Homo-oligomer: A and B are copies of this chain.
């Protein structure tokens, strides 16, 4: 049925006749069995929006080779969970994350990361969405996963500070230091909880976590100093300038152009700052 509609559209595609085809190819990878359900659902009253989703969202943005589909999809899950106001799309993209190769454990890990940047309610509602998706798919979290949180290290502060130093090269420590005047315990929580308990967890590599954090901070639009810290961190742990730009740019699709534009403004400052430094 979709293929017929696609033919209907072919003569309306302008400028780049591959955008629709390219978008559909990506949508198939992300959406799996019912990949075109959200598009078909729009045929009744907003077919143009369906076309834009394929051509612009998937064809122009998500298909770009400078960042792989797999990290893109986890960034989308993180951003939608952080925003907390788009449950149907969050479920669709958790399916998408599974379809492009992320395990249930890894998806849970990125949702645990949401606690740090958008709070526990956003993370908990993300977990509820994941539970629904996993049940639909017959996914079973392994026993191994259940014990992921059981660290034996006794010194959370030291462990957190090591992680903070590894990823932030000092900029995070400056934030912690700056809190000593009026909110020293908030600084301690950043080290012990954010870095020691959460960011230190082994389930995802540093680069993936930092790109997901950039996606969240960009989408929220209220975390600009933190976005700068984590653009630095992403570059520190091996992300390229291009990957950072792609992650921010992708948020135009999921949180709107203002979010992406304001994120790019922050990135510009960070890039300039790093070029100046030896």
A residues apposed to B, CB below 8 Å:
9, 12, 14-15, 38, 42-49, 51-53, 56-57, 60-61, 64, 80, 82-86, 88-89, 104, 108, 111-112, 115-125, 127-128, 130-131, 134, 141, 145-146, 148-157, 175, 179, 181-183, 185-186, 189-190, 192-194, 197-198, 201, 217, 219-223, 225-226, 241, 245, 248-249, 251-262, 264-265, 267-268, 271
Contact = CB atoms under 8 A, between A and B. Distances in A.
B256 A56 contact: no
How many copies of this kind of chain does the complex include? 3
B120 A57 contact: yes
Contacts of A52: 112, 115, 120, 149, 193, 197-198
A225 B261 contact: yes
Contacts of A190: 257
Contact of A127 (B45, B153, B256, B257): B45
A236 B86 CA distance: 34
A148 to B, nearest CB: 6
Nearest to A139: B45
A245 B183 contact: yes
Given A141-B44, A182-B245, A155 B222 contact: no
Contacts of A43: 146
A242 to B, nearest CB: 9
A52 B124 CA distance: 11
Residue from A15, A48, A86, A119 with most neighbouring chain B CB atoms (10 Å) = A119
A271 B183 CA distance: 12
A107 to B, nearest CB: 9
B156 A226 contact: no
Contacts of A145: 45
Contact of A121 (B182, B198, B254, B268): B254
Contacts of A112: 46, 48-49, 52
A267 B121 contact: no
Contacts of A157: 15
A49 B123 contact: yes
Contact of A46 (B108, B121, B156, B245): B108
A89 to B, nearest CB: 4
A117 B42 contact: no
